[in-house]
Chains A and B, each alone.
Chain A
């Protein structure tokens, strides 16, 4: 048994609060407000009401009959595949669960201005959505390269009255947007709350994100949980409730991009080393001089060189297993679920689905596998069409 995290915000040696002094007070304030509200029944009721009526929870656990059939051996045996339908959330991904909780916190802290960073745009849209709902000013930082790949999400954010600011520095993707957002927060901490979209950030963020996600209880226990891992919030949301259940296998799937040996991937837990990025100690893709290596994945949401500290901890303890899947395998999985089940998954989610190809043949008959269908793929249609030549 371990406390997750401990009182210093650490998961083993990972996690912590590696931030400028100016942010320490803000983080402490955040932590104490979070802890007091987490057990407040009024807060919990209000949050539950919004998650139900606004976001559309609880999301179904869907038995994928045709996918199960697809993985059946000739003798008729195979695992049972279920999808946790986070794609059905308002705004189309799990990101909103966290955004809602944090905006509630921000309101309690009396903040009027919200900033966020976004990769695929899902967290940006979720943040803009919630700010519109609660009448708060919203600014999202987005890498210029990502803005091009995810133009629909940019337009959605602007419709929702948020400002989307392009970040051109370095690779112009998620990690650079995160750095800009942190800089903004340092400068404006009195008036501004920073809604971190990922579990990769200084304590108490990792814990807060995770708590919001694990809201529903399951009927029975699954045997295997599979989720994609970029920075890891989607996976942590699914894993959280089951970490103490040793008979439940936890599998995270990262982005192998153009292949693990190509140098163009985002498989942090497979190929990374321990270091500090964005305020937290965790695995990250860095070279011998400690410079961040540019990640690559066809999916913007997995294109991140770090990973949540709790994932690093789970890997080290051997509690969770981490594998990876290439761009090509993810695209195949994207097409497969669309054709077999009529559900178009996000390219991020497709990484988790792709791993079923390797996993299913190894599983005993009737094994219950739950894949986190973390988002819908409407946003990825242009990318997919280009590659799949449909």
Chain B
């Protein structure tokens, strides 16, 4: 039914010759359903998204009130949803049920809390960056106060493990033996490999071949942790598609561990829920440190997991500004960037409706960023919703600005940030002069930058 509704939704004729619709119309569940699923997945050279025609009346949309938990509905306004073949609906429903059960289960929660504390090393500090604050003071000595939420201090060096450990625990509860994942920069791959090692699960990570070259150190880490790393032509979006194919081919034994807040419901909500520990800690720490809330939250945006991780807690606090910074690559007009919210259009990709970088024919535009973890042509449906409602603001930073920020934080605070986090830090250059003195700004320092050392070195040599 999903495809049928989808076709009507987009005002296209239901084409009986289309294999997808023939399959769906037959209503017969076959034993080889998993094969059918695989056939329906995006293949090369076919439109793998569908453009939404905003001039035609929209049918079947429901405006979900903002206070209905998205965990239940999977919709964020018109964004989100479950645009997947019929036979995956059952798996996703099962996953959703497991997820909801886990959230309510005190034993799961205790085990997760212990892992967050003793394995990952939470809670991560809220660090007052004194020298960075001084750097942004004007001649009168006025300026905002800059704090860093130190997700770089987590085990494995980024926020990714918050989610990976929780989902690996769910996979075990479901009695599954192996996990597949896709990774861009490699951070999610490393986190998944670590979590699987700890929980004694087999692990296969798919990674774009060009990414494997750029982030070779992460590939080695994954292998050391016992994961099998499989190269895929292209980058993260292609690795994702391949990982999904692998999952669909092995539904009885395999768990697809999504690293970020995209994909069909319940994936975005699950990942966001597990990452929201960042925002919850931040609220408590801000209260302890200055007896109040932050004024501005700043985070980089690739697909959106670290941003939502820190934002989500504060969505209801209208007096807290939420700012996401995307990758402008070589510049927004160069055609080589990953600024989905700035330059994208609404469509369906990897099972969810959201903004994405697509051309006139609905073909995905290959993204570019020096921060490999930001190189995704889609974005979280929840962030798309926050953009459309004006609740969050989105800007972007170029490769060059990100590298400058990387070097700046290293030199001034002795913290080497990931190139991804460097995009958020780069935006401080434009943001700080506009802020009243004493504004409390918290930047999500989403990862450490050791993995990017070679990239920055090459970039410096190339640009000289």
Interface residues of A (CB under 8 A from B): 52-54, 56, 59-63, 66, 85, 87-88, 90, 128-133, 135, 152, 155-156, 159-161, 335, 338-344, 378, 381-382, 384-385, 388, 390
- The answer to whether B410 touches A53, judged by C-beta atoms less than 8 angstroms apart, is no
Q: Bits for B148-182, please: 1 = Cβ < 8 Å to A, else 0.
A: 00101111010000000000000000000000000
The smallest beta-carbon distance between B259 and chain A, in angstroms, is 16
The 8 Å CB contact of B414, one of A52, A132, A384, is A132
The 8 Å CB contact of B197, one of A54, A88, A340, is A340
- The answer to whether A56 touches B200, judged by C-beta atoms less than 8 angstroms apart, is no
- The answer to whether A62 touches B125, judged by C-beta atoms less than 8 angstroms apart, is no
How many A-B pairs fall under 8 Å by CB? 111
Q: Which residues of A contact B200 (CB under 8 A)?
A: 66
Question: How many angstroms between the C-alpha atoms of A87 and B157 in the bound complex?
Answer: 11
Instruction: Check: B339 CB closer than 8 A to any chain A CB.
Output: no
Whether A90 touches B224, Cβ cut-off 8 Å, given contacts A159-B407, A342-B194, A342-B195, is: no
Question: How many angstroms between the C-alpha atoms of A245 and B194 in the bound complex?
Answer: 36
**Listed stretches B38-46, B84-92, B116-124, B270-278; interface member:** B116-124
Instruction: Check: B97 CB closer than 8 A to any chain A CB.
Output: no
Known: A85-B118, A378-B217. 15 other contacts (CB 8 A): A66-B198, A130-B414, A132-B411, A155-B453, A159-B456, A335-B224, A340-B198, A341-B198, A342-B194, A342-B225, A343-B194, A344-B225, A382-B220, A388-B224, A390-B224
From DSSP, what is the main secondary structure of chain B's interface residues? helix
The smallest beta-carbon distance between A189 and chain B, in angstroms, is 25
Chain A residue nearest in CB terms to B130: A133
- The answer to whether A135 touches B131, judged by C-beta atoms less than 8 angstroms apart, is yes
Chain A residue nearest in CB terms to B289: A53
Interface residues of B (CB under 8 A from A): 117-119, 121, 124-128, 131, 150, 152-155, 157, 193-198, 200, 217, 220-221, 223-226, 407, 410-416, 450, 453-454, 456-457
- The answer to whether A133 touches B131, judged by C-beta atoms less than 8 angstroms apart, is yes
Chain A residue nearest in CB terms to B220: A381
Question: How many angstroms between the C-alpha atoms of A26 and B154 in the bound complex?
Answer: 39
- The answer to whether A155 touches B221, judged by C-beta atoms less than 8 angstroms apart, is no
Q: Which residues of B contact A382 (CB under 8 A)?
A: 220
Question: How many angstroms between the C-alpha atoms of A59 and B154 in the bound complex?
Answer: 11
Question: How many angstroms between the C-alpha atoms of A226 and B419 in the bound complex?
Answer: 37
Q: Which residues of A contact B194 (CB under 8 A)?
A: 342-343
The 8 Å CB contact of A56, one of B131, B153, B226, is B153
- The answer to whether B193 touches A342, judged by C-beta atoms less than 8 angstroms apart, is yes
Question: How many angstroms between the C-alpha atoms of A85 and B117 in the bound complex?
Answer: 11
The 8 Å CB contact of B413, one of A52, A63, A132, A338, is A132
Q: List 11 A-B contacts (CB under 8 A).
A: A54-B125, A88-B154, A132-B410, A160-B411, A161-B411, A338-B225, A338-B226, A341-B198, A344-B224, A381-B221, A390-B223
Whether A128 touches B414, Cβ cut-off 8 Å, given contacts A381-B217, A384-B224, is: yes
- The answer to whether A156 touches B225, judged by C-beta atoms less than 8 angstroms apart, is no
- The answer to whether B121 touches A56, judged by C-beta atoms less than 8 angstroms apart, is yes
Chain B residue nearest in CB terms to A378: B450
The smallest beta-carbon distance between B290 and chain A, in angstroms, is 13
Chain A residue nearest in CB terms to B125: A53
The smallest beta-carbon distance between B181 and chain A, in angstroms, is 14
Q: Nearest 7 pairs between A and B by C-beta? A: A342-B194, A132-B414, A342-B197, A129-B414, A88-B121, A133-B414, A56-B153
